[in-house]
Structures are given as C-alpha cells and as structure tokens.
Amino acid sequence: MLNVEFTGADVLGAAGFEDRTLSITDGVISDQNMPRRVDLSGFRILPGIIDVHGDGFERHLAPRRGAMKQMHEGLLAAEAELAANGITTGVMAQFASWEGGLRSMDFADQVLCAIRDTRGAMVTDIRPQLRFETHLLDDYDGLPEKIADWGVEYVVFNDHLPHDRLAEGRKPPRVVGQALKAGRNPEVHFAMMLEMHRRTNEVPAALDALCARLQTQGVQMGSHDDSTQMGCATWQARGVHVAEFPETLEAAEATKSAQGRVVLGAPNVVRGGSHKGNVSALDLIIMGHCDAIASDYHYPSPRRAALMLAKSGAMDFAQAWGLVSKGPADVLGLKDRGQLKAGLRADLVVLDAQDKVAATLSQGRVSYMSGDIADRFVNAF
C-alpha cells in the first residue's frame, strides 16, 4: 500500500472540486501530512467508481462460447479492464437461468466459486452477485446454502420467460438458437419452457419462503426489469429493496416511494435511451429517480455517463459523480467508501485533462496506471 501525499491536483469533494492535498496511509485516506509526495498538477482525483452491477466480464471467462479451463486467469483479465476504467469495487453479476449454457446453474457454480477463491489475489474489490431466474423451482431447495458457500451477499431476481407467447403455445423467437447454445434439443428446450410457464402459480409462495430465508442470512436482494407498481410492492413486501433497470416510470416511482433504491444502466444514459424502448435512464435521473448508475454490460460507461451528466448541465459534477461512487456505496451498504474523506478506504481514480483514466487505486494499492502519471510516481519513489 502507498503511504503518500498527492499535491497539485483538483480533488472532488461534496460541493465540487477543491485545490487541496490528499494523503493516504495504510490503505485509507488520511488528514496527516506525508513525507513522500507526488505532484499531480493538471490531474483530478475523484472517488473510485463502484459498479453495482456488471456482466461485461463474460467475454473474459467464456471466450468463443467456451468456458476457460483456468477461470481465475479470466477473472484477472476482467479485473484489469475494471481498473483501466476507474472501477475500484466491481459487482460481477452471474446468471443462474433456465437458458442454460453460460447462464446455467452449473456454470454459475464455476464462476462464483472462482470469484470466491480468486478475490484475495486481486487489487480491485470484486463482489459476486447471483441473478436468479424465478421459475427455476427445482433449484430452490439448497439454494441458500449454495449462496452462503459462494460468499454471495447480493441476489437479484429475474423472470425472462416469454409468458405471453408460452400462454398461447407458440415458440418464442430465436428459441432454436438459444437451445443449441445451451446444448439442448430445441423441442426439449421449448417443452421445458412450457412446463416452467405452467408452474407459474407456484412461484410466489416459493419466492416468499426463499426471500425470508435469505433475509435471515443477511443477503441483500434486488429485482430486475420491473414494470408495474404492483410488482414493485410485491418485491418490497419480500424485503427486496433494490430495483435494477426498471422499465417504466411507474416502477421507478413506486420503488422510490417505498424508500427503495433504483439502479440504472450507464449505457442507457450514454446512448440517451434504452435499446429495448424502455423508459430513458436520463429522464429518470433528471426526475430524481436514480440512486446509482451501473456498467450493465460496458465497463467504460459509468465514467462516461457521469461526465456526460455533468457537462450537459443536468446536475453539478459532484452530484453526477456521486451516482457512480457514493450512490452505489449506499445501495450496497458499504459505508467505508464512495467519498474522499479521512478514515475511508483510499479508493480513487485520477483523470487527466482529457477525462481519461490515468490511474486507479483500490484501498491504497495501484490497480492501474498509464502514461505521464506513471513517470511522476516513479520519480517520486
């Protein structure tokens, strides 16, 4: 860990940028003067990005649709991408779904065990999230024990079954390709979907029991792609207080009204709208219905989204950056990070004059550094 004082940089505080020194000692931000100094004139120091939901790591773990035999090396490659994009805490969202293949329960077990066993070798704070398909009724038994063994502290519930088409007995689009990716006969795959849809009435009671059990384990829970007020109220009653990527204004408002947390996708913000035609994340942010912005599937997007919000005048810089730092920390219940305050973790990102990531530090350890800033560190040490 570095024990150093940064001078000359603009440091982001709660009210905006400040011309002050920033010291770090033994992995935390300090208010002490340090004998060793690094001149960061021309750079800006900001709280490290906390990515509350990202699945962009999939291409590192399963290139060309085949799982890596050395999955820990894929995780290290993914961490390098996170660090290069200013992310100091990254939640890796892994599916467990009827879709099979890279979203199967077996593959989820491989990924989550690898994260558990590799976390100590990484500088970035990597945290697992399980995205669980609600209609996997046969997997409910024993799931809380698996979640505890994996070290998962955050579970998000999804339902991606195309119920309207299944109710009519019609095959969904792309079902053949989906089945082949999962290594299944397409007719068997379709029959499985129909059977899961048939058992829909069993799902609410199963979820009630599962959520109650996970609450006793201290697991945080979220819902995904909510669209109705009633649906949000049902999740809230189960102790599910995070709504990831709500599809409608109604769902976002319902979550906020119940003091829940809303997480939106950074690519939606950068693009200016949802690629699926859902409510615009930018509109929800302007209306105050957003607590955190997540990478979703593109790790450069949180930084770009925050910068875009600030430059557009939608909010001031501190507010915009808070959506990728303090806001996500609050969503995850992490009180030791998200701001550049004495006593908190020394998680920070340094941007150059072109808003590119020059350096990333997680708990006072360098996870990424490039270009001119590296020369300044070398000369200082």
Question: What band does 101 get if pLDDT is binned at 50, 70 and 90?
Answer: confident
- Average pLDDT over all residues of the chain: 94
Q: Which residue's structure tokens are 């195309």?
A: 162
Instruction: Provide the pLDDT for residue 275.
Output: 59
pTM of the model: 0.95
Question: pLDDT tens digit string along 152-211?
Answer: 999 999 999 999 999 999 999 889 988 988 889 999 999 999 999 999 999 999 999 999
Tens of pLDDT, residue by residue over 34-79, are 889 999 999 999 999 999 999 999 888 876 655 566 789 999 999 9
- pLDDT value, residue 178: 87
Please tell me the predicted confidence (pLDDT) of residue 66.
58
Q: Which residues contact 378 (CB under 8 A, 6 or more apart)?
A: none
Q: Where in the chain is the domain with CATH 3.20.20.140?
A: 49-336
**Alpha-carbon dihedral of residues 232, 236, 240, 242, nearest 10 degrees?**
60
Residues forming beta bridges with residue 154, ordered by sequence position: 220
Q: Look up the CATH number of domain 1-48+337-381.
A: 2.30.40.10
Over range 318-328, report the average pLDDT: 98
For residue 327 the two structure tokens come to: 């806001």
CATH 2.30.40.10 in the chain, residue ranges: 1-48+337-381
Task: Say how far apart CA 41 and CA 264 lie, in whole Å.
Answer: 34
Largest CA distance in the chain: 73
Rounded (10°) CA dihedral 227, 233, 236, 237: -140
The per-residue pLDDT for range 239-298, each reduced to its tens digit, is: 999 999 999 999 999 999 999 999 999 999 998 766 566 789 999 999 999 999 999 999
pLDDT on residue 26? 94
pLDDT at 64: 63
pLDDT in tens, 335-350: 999 999 999 999 999 9
Q: Which residues contact 241 (CB under 8 A, 6 or more apart)?
A: 220, 221, 222, 258, 259, 260, 261
Which residues are bridge partners to 23 per DSSP?
5, 30
Strand partners, 50: 89
Q: Which residue has the higher pLDDT, 319 or 59?
A: 319
CA angle, corner 249, sides to 93 and 261, nearest 5? 45
Q: Token pair 């950074």 is at which residue?
A: 266
Query: Candidates 3.40.50.720, 3.40.50.10890, 3.30.450.40, 3.20.20.140; correct CATH number of 49-336?
Result: 3.20.20.140
